Amino acid sequence: MFTGIIETLGTVKKIEAEQSNIHLFIESEISPALKIDQSVSHNGVCLTIVGIEGNVHQVTAIHETLEKSNLGKLKVDDIVNLERCVKVDGRLDGHIVQGHVDQTAICTSVEPQDGSVVYTFEYDASLNNITVEKGSITVNGISLTVINSGINTFSVAIIPYTLDNTNLKAIEIGSTVNLEFDILGKYVNKLMELRK
C-alpha cells in the first residue's frame, strides 16, 4: 500500500523487451537502499524489484500492466515518480493508494493560475471509473484532490512544491498519465452496480 506522496524521482537508464514484457532500469537515490522482492510505486504502478546494481534498480512490467498504464511509452532519460510502500508505523499523508492503475488519461489543458497550475485530464468513462469534487485521485502515483469533476474529465491544482518534486512538470497537453481512482469510490460504485 502507498500514500501517493512521491518520495523521489528516478531516471530511466535502459529498457529491455522480453516477449510481451519490458524490463525497466531506473536510477535513483533510493535504489541502493531497495531490496529484491520489495514493492515500489513507479508512476503509480506497483512493481517488484528484481535487480539492483549500484544506483540502478530493475523492475519488470508485464503485458497487462503495459496495456493499462503509460509505462510502455517510457523512453530512456524519462523521469519516473517513485514511492516505497507505506510503513505500518508511519503517517498516511496522502490517501490509500494500492499501486494498481485503473486506466490512463490524456492531459487536455495546462493553465497557470496565481501561483499554482491547473491540469485537466480526460479519460474513457466506459470503464465506469468516477471522480468527485474534493475527492482523491492518483495521477502518475501522486495523491491529488479533484477540483472539477465531469463524467470523463477532472482537474487538479498543483502547488509549486509538487510541480518541482514530481514528473508533473514534464506533463503537457497530449501527455498520457496513469490513473488510480479512489478505492472507497470504487467500492461504492461497485455496490451501486450490484443493487441495480
- Please report, for the domain that includes residue 30, its CATH number: 2.40.30.20
pLDDT the model gives residue 86? 86
In a domain, 20, yes or no: yes
Q: How many residues does the chain have?
A: 196
Both 129 and 77 in one domain: the answer is no
pLDDT the model gives residue 185? 79
In a domain, 150, yes or no: yes
Structural contact between residues 178 and 6, judged by C-beta atoms closer than 8 angstroms: no
Contacts of 87 (CB under 8 A, 6+ apart): none
Both 123 and 78 in one domain: the answer is no
In a domain, 132, yes or no: yes
pLDDT the model gives residue 184? 82
Q: Is 27 exposed, middle or buried (0-12, 13-18, 19+ CB in 10 A)?
A: middle
Contacts of 93 (CB under 8 A, 6+ apart): 3, 5, 143
CB atoms near residue 34 (< 10 Å): 19
In a domain, 97, yes or no: no
Q: What is the pTM of this model?
A: 0.88
Q: Residue 157's domain spans which residues?
A: 103-195
Both 57 and 122 in one domain: the answer is no
Both 77 and 108 in one domain: the answer is no
pLDDT the model gives residue 24? 98
Which of residues 84, 118, 152 is at a domain's end? Answer: 84
In a domain, 98, yes or no: no
Would you say the C-alpha torsion 92, 96, 97, 103 has a positive or negative sign?
negative
pLDDT the model gives residue 55? 97
Domains in the chain, number? 2
pLDDT the model gives residue 92? 67
Both 69 and 123 in one domain: the answer is no
Which of residues 84, 111, 136 is at a domain's end? Answer: 84
Both 73 and 112 in one domain: the answer is no
Which of residues 84, 116, 137 is at a domain's end? Answer: 84
pLDDT the model gives residue 170? 95
pLDDT tens for the chain, 196 residues long, are 898 999 999 999 999 999 999 999 999 999 999 999 999 999 999 999 999 999 999 999 999 999 999 999 999 999 999 999 988 777 667 778 888 999 999 999 999 998 899 999 999 999 989 899 999 999 999 999 999 999 999 999 999 999 999 999 999 999 999 999 988 877 887 888 888 7
Q: What is the pLDDT of residues 57-99, one digit of tens each?
A: 999 999 999 999 999 999 999 999 999 998 877 766 777 888 8
